[in-house]
């Protein structure tokens, strides 16, 4: 049945039962207009029920559709304002752990197919003619990879080729005027928590000397995969990779590698070495602005990970990890490697945002409206990411930790064929399995845990079940 045809009294009951997490996540929303604030919460709820559906389809009727589009159009409901309460809630969640990893990464929002969208710029080569926005995010996760939320996000349009500086001019600019400054901005935005150690984790693109310098200056934990083989201060004559590679073998371990476009998932046996190093500052063009970040020698720890006897048809694993967090034992080195392995979580979150929430297919008039829309889908993508991992890390927790009464009861009835809900709700692991099966997960022996793709497919079907369940159950069941 069309959600737009649901009786108003039943709709109200479902909305009240299901919106609790949305209200909590947007609880600190600073909007003077109370109606606009409620519209943001209602829009988040409706869009989260069917993350891959179009906005009109997820909204259910014309009034809700018009309200959601009006929200994105309103100047007060900017990307920064809509995302701020989620960032605050993320910091609250971070404070519950002794150590948290904040993973920074960039991605592109490709909206080339919407030629009339204003406020976007080039995101590919001149020949590709691809247009969109650059999105840089910082995602907080536990050491085990459970998603806690986004603590920082910046999105911008690159200048048109005719307005962009030449390569030589770009190199002569101070770091504050380069796109690579995004890494420093993300580091500065990462919160300092009294009883939680926060470590920022970045891939090779973030191997910027000024980022390493700022982490030391601000006394922030940082782990970066090196892209450059940097020079060391005398008396060392070799560069970092050769110097660390010549040290004593500390350990060997097996890494589980994620699948790539050209390579399947596999295991790799690697050697581990580490050493305290003193980096020689790189030369920079002389110019105004560089005095803000003086380039002095930096004392860091380097962990070298190198694959042993790799197969001929794959790219061998070789990681050179630079960190401000001391590495004084093999245990420390292995822990730093595990931190870097969690960097993959932001790739999964990007996949949810783009494929599950279809953010690049939201047809809006201009970039500002797309950014307001993005803020809500950032929260939805986090919620789906969190659900996947919460079920793995806390499998015996009651499903009411993440699901409303209407959701788990409708799910139970569909999965078991029993219309009378049990007094004790099922576990979160069982509920997530049922949702994944709605999305096509077969749950065969050896299939492992369900992934995010089947989860977001199942989530959409679940809320169709909830709509029907609500029609045939009295309101008292959601009290």
Distance from C-alpha of 176 to C-alpha of 189, rounded to nearest angstrom: 15
Domain 87-353 has CATH 3.90.350.10: yes
Across 266-344, the runs of DSSP E, i.e. the strands, are 266-279, 298-307, 318-323
For residue 143, the model assigns a pLDDT of 96
Residues of the chain with CATH 3.90.350.10: 87-353
Does residue 273 contact residue 244 with C-beta atoms inside 8 Å? yes
User: What is the spatial distance between Cα 35 and Cα 44, in angstroms, rounded to a whole number?
Assistant: 14
CATH of domain 394-479: 1.10.740.10
Token reading at 366: 């201009």
SS3 248: coil
Average pLDDT per run of 10 along the chain, which is 479 residues long?
A: 35 42 92 93 94 93 95 96 97 96 97 94 87 97 96 96 67 80 96 96 96 96 97 93 95 88 86 97 66 75 95 91 98 97 96 95 96 98 92 90 90 93 93 93 84 85 87 60
Strand partners, 251: 272
- pLDDT value for 172: 62
Compute CA distances 346 → 25, 109, 150, 350, whole Å.
20, 15, 10, 6
What pTM value is reported for the model?
A: 0.89
In the chain, CATH 1.10.740.10 sits at: 394-479
Nearest to 429 by CA among 445, 450, 444: 450
102 and 56 in contact (C-beta within 8 Å)?
no
65 close to 39: Cβ distance less than 8 angstroms: no
pLDDT value of position 447? 79
H or E stretch at 223: strand 221-225
pLDDT at residue 337, as a whole number = 97
Query: CA 172 to CA 59: how far, in whole Å?
Result: 50
Does an H or E element contain 10, and which?
helix 8-18
pLDDT at 7: 36
């Amino acid at each position: 049945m069309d959600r737009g045809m649901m009786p108003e009294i039943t709709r109200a009951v479902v909305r009240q039962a299901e919106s609790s997490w949305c209200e909590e996540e947007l609880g600190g929303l600073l909007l003077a207009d109370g109606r606009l604030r409620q519209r943001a919460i209602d829009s988040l709820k409706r869009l989260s029920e069917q993350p891959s559906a179009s906005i009109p389809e997820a909204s259910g009727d014309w009034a809700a559709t018009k309200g959601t589009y009006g929200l994105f159009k309103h100047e007060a409901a900017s990307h920064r304002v809509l995302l701020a309460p989620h960032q605050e809630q993320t910091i609250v969640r971070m404070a519950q752990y002794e150590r948290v990893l904040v993973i920074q990464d960039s991605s592109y929002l490709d909206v080339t197919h919407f030629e009339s969208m204003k406020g976007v710029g080039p995101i590919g080569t001149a020949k590709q003619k691809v247009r969109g926005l650059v999105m840089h995010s910082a995602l907080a996760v536990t050491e085990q990879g459970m998603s806690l939320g986004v603590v920082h996000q910046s999105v911008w349009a690159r200048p048109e080729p005719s307005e962009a500086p030449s390569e030589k001019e770009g190199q002569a600019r101070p770091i504050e005027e380069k796109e690579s400054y995004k890494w420093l901005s993300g580091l500065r935005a990462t919160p300092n928590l009294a009883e939680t150690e926060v470590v920022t984790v970045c891939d090779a693109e973030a191997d910027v000397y000024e980022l390493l310098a700022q982490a030391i200056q601000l006394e922030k934990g940082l782990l970066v995969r090196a892209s450059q083989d940097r020079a060391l201060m005398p008396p060392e004559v070799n560069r970092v990779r050769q110097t660390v590679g010549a040290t004593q073998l500390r350990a060997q371990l097996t890494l589980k590698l994620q699948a790539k476009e050209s390579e399947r998932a596999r295991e790799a046996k690697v050697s581990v070495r580490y050493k305290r190093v003193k980096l020689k500052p790189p030369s920079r063009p002389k110019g105004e602005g560089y005095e803000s970040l003086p380039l002095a020698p930096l004392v860091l720890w380097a962990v070298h990970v190198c694959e042993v006897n790799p197969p001929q048809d794959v790219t061998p694993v070789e990681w050179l990890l630079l960190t401000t967090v001391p590495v004084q034992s093999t245990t420390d080195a292995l822990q730093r490697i595990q931190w870097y392995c969690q960097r993959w979580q932001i790739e999964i979150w990007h996949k949810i945002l783009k494929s599950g929430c279809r953010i690049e297919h939201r047809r809006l008039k201009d970039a500002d409206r797309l950014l307001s829309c993005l803020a809500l889908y950032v929260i939805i993508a986090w919620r789906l990411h969190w659900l996947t991992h919460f079920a793995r890390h806390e499998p015996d927790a009651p499903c009411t930790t993440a699901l409303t009464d209407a959701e788990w009861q409708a799910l139970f009835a569909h999965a078991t064929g029993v219309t009378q809900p049990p007094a004790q709700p099922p576990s979160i692991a069982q509920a997530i399995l049922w949702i994944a099966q709605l999305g096509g997960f077969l749950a065969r022996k050896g299939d492992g845990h369900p992934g995010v793709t089947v989860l977001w497919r199942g989530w959409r079907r679940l809320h169709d079940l909830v709509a029907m369940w609500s029609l045939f159950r009295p309101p008292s069941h959601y009290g």
